[in-house]
Amino acid sequence: MAGKLKSMYLWAVRRPGYLLLAGDGDRLAAEDPKRFAHAWIGLMLLSLGWGLVCVALWAAAWHLFVDYSRMFFMPVAFVVTGMVLGLYRRALLALGEAFSGGDPRAAPLLSCAGVVFLVLVLLGLKTGSGPHYETPLLPAWQWVRPAPMFRALLLGPLWGGWAMLIVPQFCRPNGRTEPAVAAFATGCGALVAAGCMGAVAAATTLYFNYMPWWQLSISGAAIITAILCGVAFCKLNGGLDRRSLLAANLLTQMVFLSAYLVNRCRAGL
């Protein structure tokens, strides 16, 4: 059993989508760039999988460490630790570097500020009744419409993954673009980016349909952030590169969660 799990893990971490998002830079450079021509598929599936992992981490922490203060400190700690030490470690570092303006001393501090911001935003996901949520669906299908805070955790990584698809539509590869990133940008066309945006936006609208119509601004905030900030990061870095894509990914997730909280507070929920 342990051998099979190890084989599955080794297979997963060798996928182009994982390497692009969380792989080591030297390992990425050593790969055949042709492998990344359709990495957007694995990237979006990986983002969906990570959203499910976040939901599982939150639920597990809630059941193991019941927080009677209703502040959900342990679930937030589990999710943030998973992000910082796991799949989005490089994205967090890239975001700090993007905002540092090239100052190596400021980048770590800005990355730490990003962690603090994530903690504060995730604390805002708390509800008064824990992770349980009434739904008319049969028990076997209740996972389709999870608790509202779980919906935000699930959709955030998808918007971040989509940000990495849309930025190459506005910033084309140049001489300083990594070969793997250039292949990824070439294989991910405008139709792919538009289709994925439509799917994620539709899921966001459906999941937050308990809010008034202005909940559409949640998707709008994610879209605007991904495009404007992604392009700005590319300009600052001298062209399209992996660091710009990773920074756009995590920042889009942060803005998406913030927009969700603003809309929820505005609706009095």
More confident of the two residues 214 and 257: 257
Is residue 67 a part of any domain in this protein?
yes
Alpha helices in 14-140 (DSSP H): 16-22, 25-30, 39-64, 73-85, 89-100, 106-123
Share of the chain above pLDDT 90, in %: 56
Instruction: Give the end-to-end CA distance of the chain in Å, rounded to a whole number.
Output: 46
Query: How many domains in the chain?
Result: 1
For residue 103, the enclosing domain spans 35-129+146-266
Q: How confident is the model over 215-222, as a mean pLDDT?
A: 93
**CA-closest candidate to residue 206, choices 197, 215, 195:** 215
pLDDT at 137 (0 to 100): 58
Between the alpha carbon of residue 216 and those of residues 177, 204, 207, 224, 252, the distances in Å are 34, 8, 11, 12, 15
Summarize pLDDT for 205-216 with one digit per residue, the tens. 988 888 888 889
Per the model's pLDDT, the better-predicted residue between 252 and 4 turns out to be 252
Mean confidence (pLDDT) of the chain: 87
240 contacts 173 by C-beta, under 8 angstroms: yes
pLDDT at residue 25 in the model = 83
Write the pLDDT tens digit of every residue in 121-146.
998 887 544 444 555 655 555 666 67
Q: What is the pLDDT of residues 57-90, one digit of tens each?
A: 988 888 887 765 566 788 899 999 999 988 999 9
Hey, what's the torsion of the CAs at 129, 135, 138, 144, to 10 degrees? -90
Residue 4, pLDDT above cutoff 60: yes
| Cα–Cα distance, 35 to 40 (Å, whole number) | 11
Quick one: pLDDT band at residue 29, thresholds 50, 70, 90? confident
150 pLDDT more than 70: yes
User: Is residue 8 a part of any domain in this protein?
Assistant: no
Cα–chain center distance at 114: 14
Classify residue 261: in a domain, yes or no. yes
Task: Give the pLDDT band (50/70/90) at residue 202.
Answer: very high
In a domain, 2, yes or no: no
pLDDT in tens, 153-179: 999 999 999 999 999 999 999 988 999
**Is the residue at 17 inside a domain?**
no
228-240 pLDDT, tens digit per residue, is 999 999 999 889 9
Question: Under a CB-based contact definition with an 8 Å cutoff, are residues 256 and 117 in contact?
Answer: no
Does residue 66 form part of some domain? Answer: yes
Q: What is the pLDDT of residues 77-124, one digit of tens each?
A: 999 999 998 899 999 999 999 998 778 888 999 999 999 999 999 988
Residue 242 pLDDT > 70: yes
Q: Quote the pLDDT of residue 91.
A: 95
Look at residue 43 and tell me whether its pLDDT is greater than 70.
yes
75-to-61, 193, 201, 256 alpha-carbon distances in Å: 5, 32, 26, 19
Weakest-pLDDT range from 12-21, 80-89, 255-264? 12-21
- Predicted pLDDT of residue 61: 86
Q: Can you give the pLDDT at residue 9? A: 61
